[in-house]
Amino acid sequence: MEPFIAEENTQNPPLLYLPKWTKRFPNLTAGFTTRLGGVGGGRFASLNCALHVGDNAADVLANRAIVARAIGMEADSWTCAEQVHGCKVACVGRADKGKGRLSRASAVGEFDALITVEKGVLLTAFFADCVPLYFLDPEHEAIAIAHAGWRGTAQNIVHKTVQALAAQFGSDPAKLSAAIGPAIGPCCYEVGDDVVSAIAAQLGENREKIAKVEQLPPSADGKTAKTLLDLKEANRQFMIKAGILPANIEISRRCTSCDSRLFFSHRRDGGPTGRMAAWIGWKDGG
């Protein structure tokens, strides 16, 4: 069953929520935006949430406020890093609340994962094909969001995030819940052999576990096959290697490249395009 579900019969923008988590923890909010319900136009129509893609900054800030209001968080709770396709993890405290909301210069720093136990701090990250990773430690009320492109995946950002949760908050990997959000699927993600080899080497598994080779009909360019990578499954395997129980991992089957109505896609759109936001946070007062 698809874990990221649209809320029905609402006047809010069509956001995708993680109801399996939020029903257990009513004070938790977690989910993934779509491209719908915002104020932007052109290539960025309409709910682009990222400042780094060339969109009008006022529209981006308005979209962030729309999302925060829809999920029951204050606009100034929006907190984010400057993503660099790496594997560094930042521990976010109350003093970091709101960093990156108004400008890239004010972001937490060059990190691709954020962790916290603070209430009222909304951890966010931006995506247009890369894989959003969510982590929840119910025992210590620790949460994390991570951005995993193929480079971050090959650098094992999953392990780095789980390790940081354990070091900062005493999180036991076997007690963590994890979720893998909408991202480009193996149906659309053709890559070079070097990409698959880099991830498989770090994972310690055969390439066949995360990628498949499809034979192509004869063509003028002489290309006879293509390699399709399942980046979501690769991160699921890294989660299991990190000690997270398979039964505690939710994985979305939604492909950002296939669904042009709901999602921006860097690969499909072939140029400047918007970004969805993944979010997780504890609401104040719980």
pTM, entire model: 0.97
Q: Express each pLDDT in 189-229 by its tens digit.
A: 999 999 999 999 999 999 999 999 998 887 767 787 899 99
Neighbours of 277 (CB within 10 A): 24
Q: What confidence score (pLDDT) does residue 8 get?
A: 76
Q: What confidence score (pLDDT) does residue 10 get?
A: 76
Beta-strand pair 131-137/177-180: antiparallel
**Burial class of residue 201, CB neighbours in 10 A (0-12, 13-18, 19+):** exposed
Position 186: which residue type?
P
Q: Does 46 sit behind a cis peptide bond, omega within 30 degrees of 0 on the bond before it?
A: yes
Q: Express each pLDDT in 66-87 by its tens digit.
A: 999 999 999 999 999 999 999 9
Answer whether residue 20 shows pLDDT above 60.
yes
